[in-house]
């Protein structure tokens, strides 16, 4: 499960064939499977959208995982929150295995972690930059630019996001070193829900060590995603 988890964390979708092979090998292996190994495998299967293809494997792994009382480990619960949301969307026959106590524990932990991560100084600087930007809709140039309407710390179907513009269905998440897992699963789910997620790389954001640099980087990322002009608001 370790190699599978690394592939999922790196978003190595070009290695999808290897990922499928690792799932089968994990299932067929006679070695003892620990709780954390099962959690990592489930999260990785969610990242590669493999629940439907390997439903039997998912069923047996979920049965081993979701029993008894939920653990106290934050990282584990955040991973399982992603698994639970992915099962809810892609694995209808698997939903019955998700006990309410586990769903509640995973959801509450994910929300707390989202609030904790979004309170960082880097997120505050990002919020300041977003307040200074506006966009121009294609074909409506004469109407002038519109300000973004980002809400900080929003939830979309129990998925916490850093910033959300409801009109554009645009999500912006800032990657941080404190995040227990990547946003791979969540951003895949958000796309299924009709949203457009943008992940800002931690090191790229940190390297922009000036307000002008941050604005330039953010403008580039938004224009590339939205395919429309993004400009800085004129100072009054």
DSSP 17-37: HHHHHHHHHHHH--S---HHH
pLDDT of residue 94: 66
Nearest-angstrom CA–CA distance, 58 and 43: 11
CA 186 from centre of chain: 3
CB atoms within 10 A of CB 131: 12
pLDDT above 70: residue 236: no
Q: Helix, strand or coil for residue 180? A: coil
pLDDT of residue 93: 63
Q: Residue 197's beta-bridge partner residues?
A: 171
132 burial level (CB within 10 Å; 0-12, 13-18, 19+): middle
Give the global pTM: 0.87
pLDDT bucket at 92, cuts 50 / 70 / 90: low
Rounded to the nearest integer, the mean pLDDT of the chain is 90
């Amino acid at each position: 499960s370790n190699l599978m988890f690394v592939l999922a964390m790196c978003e190595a979708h070009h290695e999808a064939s290897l990922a499928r092979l690792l799932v089968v090998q994990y299932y067929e292996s006679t070695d003892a499977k620990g709780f954390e190994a099962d959690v990592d495998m489930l999260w990785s299967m969610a990242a590669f959208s493999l629940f439907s293809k390997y439903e039997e494997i998912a069923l047996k792994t979920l049965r081993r995982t979701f029993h008894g009382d939920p653990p106290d480990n934050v990282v584990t619960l955040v991973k399982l929150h992603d698994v639970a949301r992915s099962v809810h969307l892609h694995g209808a026959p698997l939903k019955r295995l998700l006990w309410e106590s586990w769903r509640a524990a995973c959801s509450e932990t994910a929300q707390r972690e989202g609030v904790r991560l979004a309170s960082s100084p880097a997120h505050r600087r990002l919020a300041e930059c977003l307040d200074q930007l506006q966009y121009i809709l294609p074909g409506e140039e004469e109407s002038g630019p519109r300000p973004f309407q980002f809400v900080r710390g929003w939830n979309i179907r129990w998925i916490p996001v850093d910033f959300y513009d409801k009109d554009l269905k645009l999500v912006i998440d800032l990657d941080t070193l404190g995040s227990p897992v990547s946003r791979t699963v969540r951003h895949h789910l958000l796309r299924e829900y009709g949203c457009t997620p943008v992940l800002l790389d931690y090191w790229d954001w940190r390297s922009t060590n000036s307000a002008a640099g941050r604005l330039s980087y953010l403008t580039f990322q938004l224009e590339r995603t939205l395919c429309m002009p993004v400009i800085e608001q004129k100072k009054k």
